[in-house]
Structure 1
Amino acid sequence: MSNFHLRLVSAVILAGVALGLTYFGGAAFRVLAVAVGGGIFIEWCLLSGQTRHRTHFALMGVVASVLLLMVLAGLPPSTVLVALAAGIGLALASGLVSGQGLWGAGGIAYAVLPVIAASAIRGDAPAGLVAVLFLFAVVWATDIFAYFVGRLAGGPKLAPAISPGKTWSGAVGGVLFAVVAGLAVATVSGLRIGGLLIVSIVLLSAVSQIGDLFESWLKRHFGAKDSSNLIPGHGGVMDRVDGLVAAVIGLYLIGVAASGPNDPLAAFGSG
């Protein structure tokens, strides 16, 4: 099987699992989110060398596990966010004492914050399903069409020092198709179409691409091609969800600004 076909099969299976658990929502979706967050945390620690100091790594593992279990238990996002702030502070202190620097604290934030955001957005309500499907449509359209438009149109590189394959044409193409995909989900779901929604899609698409670039920078910084070899044809968990991590935080912040940290669904109807 060629690498392209391997990537395609893996992508279809992963998308099917993600969509199925998203449909059920609640505890099923939290299991998915926590599993992804745990994979991100482990890959981050391996990339950044946190495992070299056993005591520090053990402490990071306990902190991350407690936070993820809080999400899994369905505690209010505001409660978990307070605990996350405390966990980051503990990780910072441990990193300074152990000589591991800020990477442990960064890994906890990068792994746990999107899990909190995704779980809060999905929840148990039908509006949460619409919100997550909307997010998937925007991020997946951005990722797919940025790749194909960039390959077809070429042109100036977007960030050659970080990710030489990405182009400005691909970035713009990704945004345009994200708008189409996001509006399609919004229309089918009966959401009100307006300038604010379009601006939100553009911002989420841009944030998704920034998240992709950040993960590329991280791997380049530590001299790694992939975050791991867990997913056939795709590398690791971080390689697969880099744009989604950033976009889900962005969507959560939009929701928090509209209706608070525990029910960020004003734009998608009340649960």
Structure 2
Amino acid sequence: MRIISAIVLGLAVLLITYFGGLPFRLMSAVMAGAIFYEWCAMRSERSLNMYTGLGAALLAVIMVLMVFGQPATILFLGLAAALLLLALHGWASGTGFGLVAGLAYATAPTLALVHLRADDRSGLFAILFLFAVVWTTDIMAYFTGRTLGGAKLAPSISPGKTWSGALGGTVFAVLAGGAFALHESAAHGAVLIALIALILAIVSQVGDLFESALKRRNGVKDSSNLIPGHGGVMDRVDGLMAAALVLYLVAALLGGAESPAHALFRI
């Protein structure tokens, strides 16, 4: 079941990513909703109280605006306002700021992912670059760690991860990302593309460790059981979402918030 789920899910994601546009935005919105649900579930906040309901409503509004193609600037400003509103409610009611973090965790990387993809081939190449780096990091960290073993990376958080795995995954990710610089559409040379790949490889592993720490703190093995044989959505996209946000920020600094992918690949 685990292998079948992985193949079906992977093919579906790649197909939707290829088409982009509305299908990609809808997929991203569903993913954000699942992540927010899992965040609430892990923190035992699934009961529909005013605080949780407000967070879900704010998420829904932002996702609807995103699906209908609103500009990145409007969406990120809307997210900032939503986080402020949720924080004020959490402070006034004494319920804390857990859902503020959950809304940010589910929404900011999703907005980044959608605006990286946009509706053109530059966006497609940017997302494929992101996938290549993150997936290579994950796969090669596992196999390198299993082969070489050695000192544990973070034994109190994720006992199975090793320094050899982390370094191996990073090296192979840099090679995978650097290969994109060979394409004629690359807006920068191999050194900068490889440097971005290096940053993303590190960030994706930090994102993975963050989610592991969150699960350990809340006493759960998986974020949910939404994906048969794989646990939850957060379990599958923790590193990807962290890396997507960082790639968006880097590309936006290089080429603007509305068309960040054009700063990386010009097609």
Q: Give me the TM-score of the superposition, normalised by structure 2.
A: 0.96
The structure 1 segments of at least 4 consecutive aligned residues displaced by more than 3 Å after TM superposition are none
Deviation string 1:76-119 (CA, Å, 9 cap, x unpaired) is 01000000001001111222233331111001100010111011
Q: Is the 8 A contact 1:56 1:94 kept in 2?
A: yes
Matched, 1:12 2:24: no
1:197/1:185 CA distance change after superposition, 3 Å: closer
Q: Is the 8 A contact 1:37 1:112 kept in 2?
A: yes
Aligned to 2:82: 87
Matched, 1:57 2:58: no
Bigger Cα displacement from structure 2, 8-17 vs 188-197: 188-197
Q: Is the 8 A contact 1:63 1:87 kept in 2?
A: yes
Bigger Cα displacement from structure 2, 185-194 vs 246-255: 185-194
The unaligned stretches of length 5 or more in structure 1 are 1-5
- For 2:243, give the aligned amino acid: A
- For 1:253, give the aligned amino acid: L
Q: Is the 8 A contact 2:182 2:190 kept in 1?
A: no
Taking the TM superposition and a 5 Å limit, the aligned residue runs for 1:168-247 are 168-188=163-183, 190-191=185-186, 192-247=188-243
- For 1:249, give the aligned amino acid: L
Q: Is the 8 A contact 2:58 2:82 kept in 1?
A: yes
Deviation string 1:180-225 (CA, Å, 9 cap, x unpaired) is 2222344356425421111110000000000000000000111111
Deviation string 1:229-256 (CA, Å, 9 cap, x unpaired) is 0111110000010000100001001111
Q: Residue 29 of structure 1: which of 24, 30, 37 is its match?
A: 24
Question: 1:71, 1:86 → 2: CA distance?
Answer: 15
Aligned to 1:110: 105
Matched, 1:141 2:136: yes
Q: Secondary structure at the match of 2:160?
A: strand
- For 1:259, give the aligned amino acid: G
How many residue pairs match? The answer is: 266
Q: Residue 246 of structure 2: which of 246, 250, 266 is its match?
A: 250
Q: Is the 8 A contact 1:139 1:178 kept in 2?
A: yes
The unaligned stretches of length 5 or more in structure 2 are none
Q: Is the 8 A contact 1:258 1:266 kept in 2?
A: no
Question: 1:215, 1:86 → 2: CA distance?
Answer: 25
Q: Give me the TM-score of the superposition, normalised by structure 1.
A: 0.94
Aligned to 1:3: none
Q: Root-mean-square deviation (CA), in Å? A: 1.4
Identity %: 47
Bigger Cα displacement from structure 2, 260-269 vs 226-235: 260-269
Bigger Cα displacement from structure 2, 179-188 vs 158-167: 179-188
1:25/1:189 CA distance change after superposition, 3 Å: farther
- For 1:166, give the aligned amino acid: K
